[in-house]
Structure 1
Amino acid sequence: MLPRQYYNEQDVRKRQIDTLKIFNDNVQEVTENAEYKVDFTINGKNFSLNVILGPEFPNEKPVILVNPPVSHPWVAEHSSQVVGAPGLIQFTVHSDLGRVVHAVIRELQKALPVEEESSQSSPSHPSHSLLIPELGELTIEELHEILENPDLQDKLLETTPQLLALNLETEELMLSIESIARDNIAEQQRLDAMKTDVVDRISALVQMKINYEELHTRHQKLSEEYDPHRIRDCLKAAALKADEDAETIAEQFLLGKMPVDSFICQFASRRALGQARRARQERLAHQLAQLHRAT
């Protein structure tokens, strides 16, 4: 398996959609490859998330809408769009869309009260009371005391279930990121090994090509050197040379520059050599002519 950065864009997009179906039930495709609906319930009431994937997804964050709209810190005020989920805020191409959507559903199921409609119809309830409902029961003096006392703030953070759940969600995201990072490191090492192997193979191929070029050049040279037509021409030229040498020897003898014994020996030798070369040249020329007629 290659690291995610080596998938093409369609592969990465498909993988993200697959995680949506793996980590969540009741996933319906509204628009192929672009919009999906995930149904869930809260205390018997039906809800759904519309997950909209833009053209640049997963390089850009998905748009998640909750229906019907709810009042929650993760949901934009006067809107149904989920904007405050940690997984959505930190979303990258290496995130898992399915995990992010599942975390949103789980948070809504934990945080929303049984009678969600009553909380929406009561404007006196501030949105942050869903996150820390205990604050609504404190006096202004007590709230000021918490603001001025770090120890009380820490105690509040340590005892608030919603914040504990948020911390748990953050820890899960961090663990997921660490796991992905470890997987990427392992795959990077594998990729580096593959790159090294490819470089070695390319080097071997280059050396083989060099050897081939050298052998090809040598073959061409030998083919030209031992071409039958060239051999025929060489035999003809050699026969003429032997005849010229014999004539030169005869001229030397007639001028008295060579004794009889040397003349007879050398003249006969050059004449015989010339005749032998001429006979071979004529035999080879005959064979080449026959070959030419056959082809």
Structure 2
Amino acid sequence: MKSFFGFFLCCVSFLLADISASYSTPSEMLAQSYAQRRNYGNPPKARAPQRTLNPAATDSHCRSRPLDLVFIIDSSRSVRPGEFEKVKIFLSDMVDTLDVSADATRVAVVNYASTVKIEFFLKDHLRKESLKQAISLIEPLAAGTMTGLAIKKAMDEAFTEKSGARPKSKNISKVAIIVTDGRPQDQVEEVSAAARASGIEIYAVGVDRADIGSLKLMASNPLEDHVFYVETYGVIEKLTSKFRETLCEMKVEIVQDPCLCEARLAFQRQTQTSIQNLNSKHILSVQKVEQMERMLARM
């Protein structure tokens, strides 16, 4: 009988030690909680904040994908001199958002009214400063609005390898941005379709009295991504951010979690799991003690 009681006491001692070990978990949890607060609630000052890659929220420059980009700008009589200056400012602001070089983005400008003039080719200005200077010197042509003729001249002359466009084997995107405030005086549907079929992506920007139907005939699909309209030339600069996001190579926004919600949720999940494990151990220990008590009662 004494040997049995000795065996029983040894078992109870073992169970109590097991329970004690189980209940030491809260201390560990508190220590872990402190570590979580230290590491997540108060990040070390030496840790550099993650950069937000949102072109509109950071500086005006982003890494644009390589392009052969041709601006086709309306300088007909309806575009007043002050308004044409705003168009040139818009072009200059657009250039500021691009990586301009022989290996990156190349830019040309086609100016049109009743006649069409290629102000400079893709090969002519491979530095941003030179390009902006050339834009500042463009003069309006006045008279009519031969938009279809301008698109054809851009396709046949501005987007050629002779003029500085990269060969198809390079897989460089060809993009045309048309800016107009009127209704074309010639046909644009067929020539625009031919330009798109040749691999040119067309954006159509309408200002003030621009004919929306014509813009849709010129632009690439989906139209909601390629047709833009502004009320006046005075606010055309607001399109810069839209094109910046369209032409930027990186448009994914990576933002550091300001409230550290993910860290808190992870800690809560870990705490909940620890409590569940603790309860399971407690229940198992109680069952073992009750089993021992029943065995003792039968002796």
Same fold (TM over 0.5): no
TM-score by length of 2: 0.24
Structure with the higher fraction of residues in helix conformation: 1
Task: Decide which structure has the larger Cα Rg and report it.
Answer: 1
**Higher relative contact order, chain-length normalized (CA < 8 Å, sep 6+):** 2
